[in-house]
Structure 1
Amino acid sequence: LRRLVGAMAGAAETEGASTRPRVFVPEELAVHNSRDNCWVAVNHKVIDVTPVIASLPAEHAALADPLLDNAGTDISHWFDEETGEVRTRIDPATLQRVPYLPMGRFPHLSIDGKPLSNGPEPPEVPWWRDDSLVRGVMTRKMMRAWIVNVLTEQRHRLVFGAEETLEQVRDRFLEYNSHAKSYTWKVLVPNEDGSGSSFKPLDMAKSLEDNGVEDNQDEAWELGLDADDYLPVIHLSFNDDLTEG
């Protein structure tokens, strides 16, 4: 997934874009679950199949059913992780290789580039390989952290993807504080001389993990502890500048 995020970020920079691909957590994907707003995840990519469904002719409208029935979910098990193509199996009746279709036929299926019987002609690039439909990537791991305003002591528990940069996490936090960019984001770290702890500014271009901040929630659960008590804590120190926001 890191390679995928890196490749997408590189492509964005080539096109002059300044942002990294958006990282989705499962709850964010789940809201895209209707005919007019149908997204799925395939091998970490978040794909908007709404236009695919809308383009189906009336006589083949039923091909949308597997996508609609699984809208807002991860359907990676339909696809081979290595090739990115639809999984296949050997039909015991014909001994021929056929697509693996646990939920039935869906749009753009073909065998060796040829449409299945009684199916529409597939496009040159099927929807699962169409980069124009990709809206971002699924997180490899969900993280939670407490965001604490040093001045007001307000606390918010934020959920985000482990691979997100802190700039991306900050963009999420704008929902709670529209001036989040006017704060320095810090963590409390032990002093090397053992004399206590000091605040260390975070590198906003890196993820929390790449800043050396450990996520101990899984270990806490394994020990029977309340993971909320062991979440990373990010402290926001006001810069006395409201020009950013």
Structure 2
Amino acid sequence: MSGDLVQPRRPFYTPREVSRHCTLTDLWVSYLGRVYDLTPLANQHRGDILLKPIIEAAGKDISHWFNPKTGDVKTCIDPQTGCLKYYTPQGRFLHVPPPVPTSDWDTSYGRPWWKDPFHEIGILSSKTRFIRIINTLTSQEHKLEVCSEENMWEILRRYLPYNAHASSYTWKFCGVPLDMDKTLQENGVQDEDQEFDELKIDSDLFTPSIHLYFNDDLTES
């Protein structure tokens, strides 16, 4: 088996992975298809009341906060002033100006956090799926949730905690070696979740199985 394990693109994350980062010292969110690590922001503004809505949203998708066309926070007309303002029903948060002019509003923060690419760490998967990986050498089996957009090398990386020598195996589906540069779908491993759902069939009973066959070269990944 050959292949370059250097990852040339942003990693994909499942919503479940994002949800695990839900504390003040480990704070991720997702919005508009991207995943962001806001831990540095939380550390910088610890104790600020405007951080509260962000803390409450830790580990969640907050796309509903934003206008998908502009990438900015949604706006509305203030019924009292008749002026355009940010729409924040969950409470005003960091870098959102007060609804009325005030002399103590600090605008020196530069770019608002939701437009700062520094916080972006990856892409939120639009569709996840489960697969079983069976090591034919040891008969060990693991069920993994993977992103449908990931190629086999990226899925291999997910499997490394269970088998550090994963790249020393040939990965096969129905006896056919998989192209590690392609996705599961591109390799003919169809995602039938929707069909199973329509037929009221438990998809857990039909999870696709990937079989690993040990090669001669024992190369730790």
Per the normalisation by structure 2, the TM-score is 0.88
Equivalent in the alignment of 1:194: none
Structure 2: gaps of 5 or more residues: 1-5
Equivalent in the alignment of 1:12: none
2:185 to 204, 209, 231: 209
Equivalent in the alignment of 1:166: 152
1:240 to 211, 216, 219: 216
Q: CA deviation at 1:182?
A: 0.5
Work out the CA distance in 2 between the residues paired with 1:244 and 1:169: 16
Structure 1: gaps of 5 or more residues: 1-16, 189-198
Contact residue 216 and residue 230 of structure 1 kept, 8 A: no
Q: CA deviation at 1:110?
A: 4.4
Work out the CA distance in 2 between the residues paired with 1:54 and 1:120: 18
Looking at both structures, which has the greater relative contact order when contacts are Cα pairs under 8 Å and sequence separation is at least 6?
Answer: 2
Equivalent in the alignment of 2:23: 34
Work out the CA distance in 1 between the residues paired with 2:68 and 2:56: 22
Secondary structure class of the residue paired with 2:35: strand
Contact residue 220 and residue 230 of structure 1 kept, 8 A: no
Q: CA deviation at 1:165?
A: 1.4
2:58 to 71, 81, 85: 71
RMSD: 2.2
Q: Tell me the alpha carbon deviations over residues 192-218 of structure 1, each in whole angstroms, 9 at most, x when there is no partner.
A: xxxxxxx22112122111223211123
Q: Tell me the alpha carbon deviations over residues 151-200 of structure 1, each in whole angstroms, 9 at most, x when there is no partner.
A: 33332111011111111110110111111111111111xxxxxxxxxx22
Per the normalisation by structure 1, the TM-score is 0.80
Percentage of pairs with the same residue:
40
Q: Tell me the alpha carbon deviations over residues 53-103 of structure 1, each in whole angstroms, 9 at most, x when there is no partner.
A: 222386xx0010000011111001000111111111122222221101021
Work out the CA distance in 2 between the residues paired with 1:56 and 1:119: 15
Secondary structure class of the residue paired with 1:211: coil
Secondary structure class of the residue paired with 2:42: helix
Q: Tell me the alpha carbon deviations over residues 192-245 of structure 1, each in whole angstroms, 9 at most, x when there is no partner.
A: xxxxxxx22112122111223211123223212221222222111111221233
The equivalences for 1:51-200 within 5 A come to: 51-56=40-45, 61-110=48-97, 117=102, 118-121=104-107, 123-188=109-174, 199-200=175-176
Which amino acid in 1 is paired with 2:39?
T
Contact residue 52 and residue 107 of structure 1 kept, 8 A: no
Work out the CA distance in 2 between the residues paired with 1:134 and 1:180: 29
Secondary structure class of the residue paired with 1:172: helix
Q: Cα 1:200–1:122, aligned 2, differ >3 Å: closer, same or farther?
A: farther
